[in-house]
Amino acid sequence: MNDAELPSAPADDTGALRLGFTRGTAPSKWAKRWERASGDPLELVPVETAFGRKAEAQGVDVMLERTRAGQRPEGSSEPDRSRHAMLLYTEAVALVVPADHELAESSEISVGDLELVPLLDHPDHFPQWPAARSWEDPSWMPTGVKAALELVATGAGAILLPLPLARHLSDKRAHAVLPVTGEPELAGSGIWASWDVDRDAADVQQLVGIMRGRTARSSRPAAAAADGRTGADGTKPAKQARPKPAAKKAGPKPGSRGAQLAAAKEKAERAKALRRAEKKRKRR
């Protein structure tokens, strides 16, 4: 987006707009765009929760929040809507394993290979994901993401999490984070901008427009911006947040003997790692 095309924001006599944000999100890019567009700072308010909102979010003008797959922010559904909500993007899913796990050096893991890894159940394991092992005693289940990550670090198993959240909360010395790839694609968490219906003023609309990617040349549909639908200008607010592919290294020429040997070696090493993981799982 060209900075010159950013929508201008009206002056706010009540002070800086406040944008609350949940763990694992990156609001700084919108703060910079808002400041360039309006000349005023955007106050960023961290909210210590992985999903939804907490009490400290009550004083913010707009909340950047995460929802579980297929859900909307609390209060944004009819018939008793108290908040507007706009879906910004959908997050990819990651597998978190111990740092010394056989798969820790892998750059990713396919959906089909998840069955070879013992998945620990935790409160934020989505029902749409591959089933996790149930706990013999329900009281043993970790109470949250941090507790689940502590169990992973002990070697008890692995967990699935939204990729940005996994990268944000994991410890590089104790965990390895592997983006999950392949088909069928796992359902991802949603990142939404939500705001109170009574705070639907021009300055909030300008901020939401910047977060949506709208420019001064874009038409603003009357209803689409608030409920996450595709607008009259053809833009789609929800985009799949996929892991960035690793930079490709120079290798042998495709089809050459060297390329065939390299592919065979990689396949053998991957199969060996999966067999070790399966043997380790059976020993437990």
Give the count of beta carbons closer than 10 Å to the beta carbon of residue 99: 15
Same domain, 19 and 46: yes
Q: What angle separates helix 28-38 from helix 202-212, to the nearest 10 degrees?
A: 130
| C-alpha distances out from residue 12 to 17, 30, 149, Å | 8, 17, 43
The range of the structural domain enclosing residue 117 comes to 93-187+247-283
Model confidence pLDDT, tens digit, residues 74-95: 999 988 899 999 999 999 999 9
Could you identify the residue written with the tokens 């700072």?
41
**Which neighbouring-strand residues pair with 94?**
161, 179
| C-alpha distances out from residue 273 to 106, 175, 277, Å | 10, 17, 6
Same domain, 10 and 27: yes
Same domain, 81 and 151: no
Contact status, residue 163 vs residue 92, Cβ threshold 8 Å: yes
Same domain, 164 and 206: no
Same domain, 174 and 272: yes
**Phi and psi angles of residue 139, each rounded to the nearest 5 degrees, phi first:** -70, -15
Contact status, residue 192 vs residue 65, Cβ threshold 8 Å: yes
Contact status, residue 118 vs residue 284, Cβ threshold 8 Å: yes
Could you give the number of structural domains in the chain? 2
SS3 assignment, position 247: coil
What pLDDT does residue 175 have? 97
What pLDDT does residue 16 have? 87
Model confidence pLDDT, tens digit, residues 180-224: 999 999 999 999 999 999 998 999 999 999 998 854 434 333 333
Model confidence pLDDT, tens digit, residues 10-38: 334 457 899 999 989 989 999 999 999 98
Q: CA–CA separation, 218 vs 235, rounded Å?
A: 9
Could you identify the residue written with the tokens 């070697």?
155
Q: Write the CATH number for 111.
A: 3.40.190.10
Report the chain's terminal Cα–Cα distance, integer Å.
53
Same domain, 23 and 106: no
SS3 assignment, position 166: helix
Model confidence pLDDT, tens digit, residues 227-280: 443 332 223 345 444 555 544 445 555 655 555 556 656 666 676 677 677 666
**Which neighbouring-strand residues pair with 176?**
97
What pLDDT does residue 4 have? 37
Contact status, residue 19 vs residue 203, Cβ threshold 8 Å: no
125, pLDDT greater than 80: yes
Burial class of residue 265, CB neighbours in 10 A (0-12, 13-18, 19+): exposed
Same domain, 162 and 279: yes
226, pLDDT greater than 80: no
